[in-house]
Structure 1
C-alpha cells in the first residue's frame, strides 16, 4: 500500500471524480437527442472514472499496479480515437470536410514542422492520414500493453528502469513515437478544420483532452526521470506519486468536462430521441464505428500493398 497521506487525499478525490463523471454521463444518456455526437462524448467522459479508479487501485495495491495502469493506458488510446471521431461528426463526416475544404491547402508552418514542405492539399487523403495517425495508436497501444505484461512476468520490465538491458527504455521510445504521431494528427486536423469546428467551441474540449491524455503521460515520464536523477528516492515512490497526482487531477478533469461537454446543449433538441436510457447505453457501447474505421482506414488501405508485394515477378495485380 502507498503512503497513508496519499490515500487519505486520493480517496475523496477519486470518489468525487467518479461521482461527477457518472452523473454527467447519466444526464447525457437521459438527453440522448444527438446520438452521432453524444456517443463519443459519453466515451470521452468515461475516461475520468477509468483514470481515477485505476490510479487509486494502483496506489492502494501497488504490487499489482502494472495491471491497473495497463487498463488506464489502453483507454487513453480509445479516448484519442473518439475525440477525432467527434470532431469529424461535428463537421458532417469526412466527405463533408473534403467538400468544404476543396481547393484549400495547409500552408507550410514551422510549428507543424512543415516549413520545408510544399502546401498540403486538404483532400480525402489528408483526412485519411489524420484518422490513420490516431488509429495506429489505438491499435498499437493494446499490443504494447500485452508485450509489457509478458516481459513483466519474465522479469524483463520494470517501470522507470532506463537500463538498456531492460525493456522499459525501448517500449517508452516506441510509445512516445506513436503517441506523438497521434498528437500531431489531432493538431494538424484541428488547424485545417478550425473554421468548420468554430460553432462547436472546440478550444476548451481540445485543452481538456490534451491535458488529461497527453500531459499525464509526459508527467509520468518526468516523474520517473526525477527518480533516476535522485530527486525522488526510487521508482516505487515515483509511481506512487504519479498515481496520487492523477487521482487529484481527475477531480479537476471531471469539473472541466462539465463545462467542455455540457449536456444542456442537447436537452430539448428535436434531433433523435431522448429518454430511452437502455437504448442510449446500447448505442454508446457499440463498437461498430471503430470496427468500420479500422477495416476501411487501415486494413483495406494496406491489403493491396501486401498482395502486390507477394505477387510473382512478371504478373500484374488485379488491384
Structure 2
C-alpha cells in the first residue's frame, strides 16, 4: 500500500505535467505565429512559459526528491521573473511610464483600509509612484537568485533543509526574507493596478491579475502551510509535505494552462498587421531576449543611486 500511493501520485502528476506543457507550448506557438504586437506579446510569452517551468520542475522534484532543491530553485527564480514581466506588460498596455504619468497627472491614491494605506496621506500618482512600483518588482527579481545561491551554499554545508524551522537552521530566516521581498512585489502590483484601473480596463486585466497572483501566491503559501502541517504533526514529515506540494503544483499547472488561454488569448492578435510577420524563430528570439530587463534594471538602479547621492549631498 505504501508503494501504491507514491505510484498513484507519480502517474497523475505525469499526466497533468504532460498535458499542461502541451497546452502551454501550443498557446506559445499560437502567439508566436500571430506575433503582431511584439511590445505586448514578448511579456505574454514569458508569462505563459511559467506553466512548463513550474510543471516540469515540480514533477522532477516529485520523482527525484534528493535533487528537489535544485529543481525548486529554478521554479522560484522564474516566479520572480513572472512578476516583473507582468508589471512590464501592464506598463506597455498603458503606453509606458511616461504616458501613465501624463494620464494620471494631478490624481492621488486615496487612503484605503484594503490597501493598508489608511494611516498615510494620499499618494500622488506621479513619476515617483511608477518608479517605486518598478523598483518594488525589480528588488524581488534581483534578490531571489541571490537567495537561491545562498540557499544552495547553505544546503551543501548542511545548514538548510526545506521545512526545518529550527532556529539553528537557515530555512526560517531565508523564508522571512523571501516573504518580505515577495510581499512587497505583490503589494506594489496591487497598488499599480488600483491606480491605473481605468487605463487598464480596455485590456481586461482582472482575469490576468487573478491567474498570475493565484499561481504565484498559492504555490508559495501552500508550501509553507504543508511544512507547518508537518511540524504540527498533521502530516507525517517534511518529506511528505514536499511530495504533496510538488504533486499539487503539477495538477494546478494544468488548470493554469487552461486559464492562460482565457486570460491571454492569442486570437486578439490574429490577423492584425501592426507589427508585421517576423517568422516563428525570430519571434521566439525577440520574446526571450533580455535586453529590456537589462536596460530597465540599469535605469532603475541609476535612479536609485542618483537619489541616494542627492540625499547624501543634502546631509
Interval of TM-score (by shorter of Structure 1 and Structure 2): over 0.9
Match of residue 134, structure 1, among 137, 149, 154: 137
Change in Cα spacing, 1:143 to 1:303, as seen in structure 2 (3 Å) is farther
Displacement after TM superposition at 1:307 (Å): 9.0
User: Are 1:75 and 2:78 counterparts?
Assistant: yes
User: Are 1:206 and 2:209 counterparts?
Assistant: yes
Displacement after TM superposition at 1:81 (Å): 0.2
Which residue matches 1:242?
245
Deviations 1:194-246 (A, max 9, x none): 00000000000000000111111011111110100000000000001000000
Match of residue 23, structure 1, among 22, 26, 38: 26
TM-score between both structures, scaled by the size of structure 1? 0.95
Which runs of 5 or more structure 1 residues have no equivalent in the other structure? 310-315
Separation of aligned partners in 2, 1:214 and 1:232: 22
The alignment partner of 1:242 has SS state of helix
Displacement after TM superposition at 1:65 (Å): 0.2
Displacement after TM superposition at 1:275 (Å): 5.4
The alignment partner of 2:223 has SS state of helix
**4+ residue segments displaced more than 4 Å:** 306-309
User: Are 1:95 and 2:104 counterparts?
Assistant: no
User: Are 1:60 and 2:59 counterparts?
Assistant: no
TM-score between both structures, scaled by the size of structure 2? 0.96
User: Are 1:160 and 2:158 counterparts?
Assistant: no
Separation of aligned partners in 2, 1:298 and 1:207: 30
Separation of aligned partners in 1, 2:155 and 2:310: 36
Separation of aligned partners in 1, 2:167 and 2:272: 57
Separation of aligned partners in 2, 1:274 and 1:262: 18
Displacement after TM superposition at 1:300 (Å): 3.8
Deviations 1:154-186 (A, max 9, x none): 000000000000000000000000010001000
Which residue matches 2:8?
5
Match of residue 151, structure 1, among 145, 150, 154: 154
Which runs of 5 or more structure 2 residues have no equivalent in the other structure? none
Displacement after TM superposition at 1:278 (Å): 1.3
Which residue matches 1:312?
none
Contact in 2 for aligned 1:56/1:244 (Cα 8 Å): yes
Displacement after TM superposition at 1:123 (Å): 0.2
Q: CA RMSD in A?
A: 1.5
User: Are 1:178 and 2:191 counterparts?
Assistant: no
